[in-house]
Amino acid sequence: MRNRAKILSLIFLATASTALLAGCTTDGGQKPIAKTGGSTVTTPSNSTAGIPSVSGAAGSAPTIAAPQGAAPTSLQTQDVIVGTGATAVSTSTLTVHYTLMAWSTGKVVESSWSGGQPATFALAQVIPGWQQGIPGMKEGGRRVLVIPPALGYGAAGGGPIGPNETLIFVVDLIKVA
């Protein structure tokens, strides 16, 4: 539980890196690979370079395969489940479930599914990787974000996240306000 508080506080930190947002797309240039209303979906391991495969049914904790190869140096996103509800924008307040894996170890660092409580926050107050990777996502969707250090916690790291760590988040968007 203490790690969850650290991760949430790290996620919610507003960073001074907003200049990094200017030249990036919000969808990572990726196309959704699946549309479903709640069935189990698996991303093929070779579907998109730099994105580990994810499986699991909508409404339950995802399973993430350990990443392979070198970590991507730019934000990578992929919809595992395409939602059908309201669309997230940069000014939205979101309620999400998430799982965070460290690229370097292939181990889950934190998961809101473990505590059973989703997180609620303003998208404008989180790390740049979320600010860039979540807009356009719809309620009911599941998206994978592979976030390079420059869009995450950088050289400083923080809490259980080491310096220069590439982050893998699987985000289930529950509510957009």
In terms of Cα–Cα distance, which of 77, 12, 152 is closest to 4? 12
pLDDT for the residue 10: 45
State the Cα–Cα distance between residues 76 and 140, nearest whole angstrom.
20
State the Cα–Cα distance between residues 78 and 48, nearest whole angstrom.
8
pLDDT for the residue 121: 97
pLDDT for the residue 155: 96
Task: List average pLDDT for each run of 10 residues in the chain, which is 177 residues long.
Answer: 46 32 31 36 45 94 95 96 97 98 96 94 97 98 98 94 97 98
State the Cα–Cα distance between residues 147 and 145, nearest whole angstrom.
6
**Which domains occur in the chain, in start order?**
2-176 (3.10.50.40)
pLDDT for the residue 48: 56
Q: Is 73 exposed, middle or buried (0-12, 13-18, 19+ CB in 10 A)?
A: exposed
3-state helix, strand, coil split of the chain in percent (to 5) is: 20, 30, 55
pLDDT for the residue 50: 76
DSSP-based three-state secondary structure for 20: helix
